[in-house]
Structure 1
Amino acid sequence: MITGLDYGTSNCALSARQQNATGDTRIALVPLENGKHFLPSTLYALERELIVESVAQNIQNKDAQQDFITSRRNQLTQANRVRVTHDIAASEQALFFGKEAFSHYLEQPDEGYFVKSPKSFLGSSGFRPQFIEFFEDIVTAMMQNIKHKAEMHLGASLTHTVIGRPVNFQGIHSEKSNTQALSILTTAAKRAGYQEVEFLYEPIAAGFAFEEQLTQDKTVLVIDIGGGTSDCAMVRMGPSYRDKIDRSEDFLSHTGERVGGNDLDIQLAGKNFMPLFGMESELKNGLPMPTQIFWDAVTTNDVSAQTTFNSLPTEMSLEQMLRDTKEPKLLNRLLLLRDNKQNFQLVRDAEQCKIALSDTLVNQVDLNYIEKGLYCDVSREAYTKAIQPPLSKMIKLMTQAVNEAGETPEVVFVTGGSAQSPIIRDAIRKSLGNVEILDGDHFGSVAAGLGVWAERIFA
């Protein structure tokens, strides 16, 4: 069976041709978690070593399974030791995904292994081969889970897929990082059981879903603001174009950068939450508190930042800062956050606050898990100021796509969860002028478009 797979930074979704209530068939999203079509991009393992064990057990092709076992022999031996040491029975579930992963993390954040938005790490430079292999295993485990859930719902084996990809996975060394990221995704998809794997730019995929409803030809600026990246494409679309297999002449320009909804959450957490943890306090000598540790704490989409935050040198720096600060109560909150590994929870609260501020002017964030009675009021105005650095990058990508195309868009199509924010919508209007802005399914357009394209190239 042919599918489109959106392995997203915030959520994963999968589309396939399905029969509706009237007996007609169409490309539609497949339920992945409790009847919902979107699965949060999260994984929780009782112990991190058990991820590789799960991957090995769920590779269906025997030759591929044996090759994997051979390549991960040492890690699998270590996984066996972990089960014995921690008294984890072979029949006990060791991996959890989506909201279930979040639930396990929130219950015991200082235990187990939790990862959110692993797509953000793809293409990062400076990692040892063993670390790249670990990323492969994380992505494979997630794809195996998605594919299994979809096959159970559809009652058919999934064999071919088109996976969405951003224009650039990382902002530096883009070609090298893109090659690395696509290699990881391809390896993971093949180990999950797909026979054929292709890729398509995410803004173009979102555009294909939008094109299905166009009754007239238009030059469209597609803006996809995802969790980890923002991508734009200028595309000629409409009835005259949509049945073509070769669309290269219709794609006028595309731009993309590693800046997305996660960066908005991080800016909100840093500038609005971190002062409660001592970031804007003073040292006894009158100098301002160093800020890098605070930003490392909330930069949860950067492996290097998280490694640094959890390192021994950071622990020693915090102990010295605690001796030097005028307000030890504030800094003790940061130490508690670090010891309990609650920084992912803090950034998740920032994400929920961001969503709430789409409908309200002020949102109160409950931080009771840090300290009883602790909360933070965030206004839409304060949020707007906090997100200016990443928002400016997003607007630059839009104007760059228009300039490179050499044409003015007749309509703007926006998708991606963060695109719902009135702050972002206002910024788009101010930048592009009086152009009609239309919305798609903010979470499902990419997956639906990938399914449309998958059928065109595989059917």
Structure 2
Amino acid sequence: MYCGFDYGTSNCAMGVFENDEPQLIPLEAGKAFLPSALYAFSRDFITEGVAKSIQDDAARREYIESRKAILTRAQRVRREEDYQADDQVVFYGREAFSEYYDYPDEGYFIKSPKSFLGGSGLRTEHIRFFEDIVTLMMLKVKRAVEAKTGIPLTQTVIGRPVNFQGIDAEASNKQALEILSVAAKRVGFLDVEFLFEPIAAGMDFERRLDKDQTVLVVDIGGGTTDCAMVRMGPSYRDKLDRTADFLAHTGERVGGNDLDIQLAGKEFMPLFGMGAPLKTGLPMPTQLFWNAVTTNDVTAQAVFNSLETKKQIEELRLDSKTPSLLDRFAYLREHKHNFHLVRNSEEAKINLSDSNETLISLEYIEKSLSKTLSRDQLDSAITPPLEKMMQLMSSAIEEAGETPDVIYITGGSAKSPIIQKQIRERIGDIPVLDGDHFGSVASGLTVWAQRIFS
């Protein structure tokens, strides 16, 4: 059986064909998407989970040999912490967030692992660890769908951004696709194909077109924004070779996560001392505050969690006219609440799609601490990444050499009225249509899987 698999930066979704239509399968709490987050009581349990899941004997032996030291540590943690063989030690999606909120500094939490797959400078052990994270998350989704459908899944089309990273894109893409391919094979997919995510979103849209049009498809995902200019409609949709129909595509590593990070940095970090006055009259250094909220950057997180940053915060506290703010920042760092803070920023962004103001509670940091945010504050905070998104859209149109008949936007952040307003103002008087913000890519991938595997 074949499926379309949107292994997304923010959410995962999977579709299968039923009754001649792509159907997204509920993955958690009746919802057809699973947040791309994982929490483990020990990071070694992630590798242990992969070792237990590999079905092929030879492949499992080879894998165990390559992870021998890690698996030995996992067994030691089990003995020391008295974890039994059937205890749940790894959590996914909303459960992962819940466990992280309850025990932020006791386990290992990762959100949006897809953001890291194309990172430059990753050592072999890093790449292997990301393979393990992706494998477990893919396995969670695949098993949920197989349990619902009762049919083993052996073929898949997985969505991919145009570029996983902006720097050395070719090497980045190769590395990320290899990680995804290894993980997909380990969970039992025999045939794995990849399709650009904006093209997949366009294929979902194309099913409903009753006339030929040139469409600018804009997919604003959690980690990337991808655009494609595509000829679509009844004359095109049954073709297997669509190469000539794709007029242009652009993509960059700027997405919904960057909007969350900008909002967290500019509106939440002042509560922790960013911009606060120093006794010396010198400006407060800002990089350590930005490192805290740049949760999609391995290097930034390593620096933030380093002993050097701890000492820097202690020194700044002595120099600060408002030391209580630096105490608050030290508490956030010590208890690993920075991911929670960026999640609050994401929640604020979502809330401000439907209202002009939202109140965010930060009581997990300090009793009665909260922040009221307005849509205008969001608009101001996200200007830099939003400008990059607009440039990608303009570049796709320029590269294609023609004006689109319609703009089709999808992806979680595309729901924001701020983004839609910018598109209308910057691109021109062109109809802007909304897609299924969370499901259109998975549906389009399922459509393509049906065409190439059936």
Taking structure 2 as the reference length, what is the TM-score of the superposition?
0.99
Aligned with 2:344 (options 343, 349, 361): 349
In the TM superposition, 1:80-229 aligns within 5 A as 80-229=75-224
For residue 256 of structure 1, what is the aligned residue in structure 2? 251
Q: Deviations over 1:12-71 (max 9, x none)?
A: 0000012xxxxx342110111122100000001111001111001011222222221122
**How far apart are residue 252 of structure 1 and its match?**
0.1
**How far apart are residue 127 of structure 1 and its match?**
1.5
**How far apart are residue 106 of structure 1 and its match?**
0.6
**How far apart are residue 363 of structure 1 and its match?**
1.3
In the TM superposition, 1:52-451 aligns within 5 A as 52-451=47-446
Q: Secondary structure at the match of 1:354?
A: helix
**How far apart are residue 114 of structure 1 and its match?**
0.6
Aligned amino acid, residue 304 of structure 2:
F
* 2-structure distance, mates of 1:277, 1:65: 47
Aligned amino acid, residue 89 of structure 1:
Q
Aligned amino acid, residue 270 of structure 1:
G
Q: Deviations over 1:224-246 (max 9, x none)?
A: 00000000000000000000000
In the TM superposition, 1:25-40 aligns within 5 A as 25-40=20-35
* 2-structure distance, mates of 1:348, 1:384: 18
Q: In the alignment, does 2:17 pair up with 1:17?
A: yes
Query: Segments of 4+ in structure 1 off by > 4 A?
Result: none
* 1-structure distance, mates of 2:400, 2:388: 19
Percentage identity across paired residues of the two chains? 61
**How far apart are residue 135 of structure 1 and its match?**
0.5
* 1-structure distance, mates of 2:73, 2:371: 43
- Alignment check: 8 A CA contact 1:61 1:193 kept: no
* 2-structure distance, mates of 1:31, 1:354: 25
Q: Deviations over 1:345-394 (max 9, x none)?
A: 10000000001111111211111111111111111111111100000000
Q: In the alignment, does 2:3 pair up with 1:8?
A: no
Aligned amino acid, residue 180 of structure 2:
L
Q: Secondary structure at the match of 1:80?
A: helix
* 1-structure distance, mates of 2:375, 2:26: 34
**How far apart are residue 74 of structure 1 and its match?**
1.8
* 2-structure distance, mates of 1:101, 1:371: 23
* 1-structure distance, mates of 2:86, 2:169: 43
* 2-structure distance, mates of 1:175, 1:333: 42
**How far apart are residue 199 of structure 1 and its match?**
0.2
* 1-structure distance, mates of 2:371, 2:86: 43
Q: Which runs of 5+ in 2 are unaligned?
A: none
Q: Deviations over 1:304-341 (max 9, x none)?
A: 11110000111111111111111001111100001111
**How far apart are residue 396 of structure 1 and its match?**
0.2
* 1-structure distance, mates of 2:390, 2:217: 13
Aligned amino acid, residue 336 of structure 2:
K
* 1-structure distance, mates of 2:193, 2:223: 21
Q: Deviations over 1:140-191 (max 9, x none)?
A: 0111111111100010000000000000001101000000000000000000
Aligned amino acid, residue 236 of structure 1:
R
Larger mean Cα displacement after TM superposition, 228-237 or 108-117? 108-117
- Alignment check: 8 A CA contact 1:110 1:340 kept: yes
* 2-structure distance, mates of 1:423, 1:339: 35
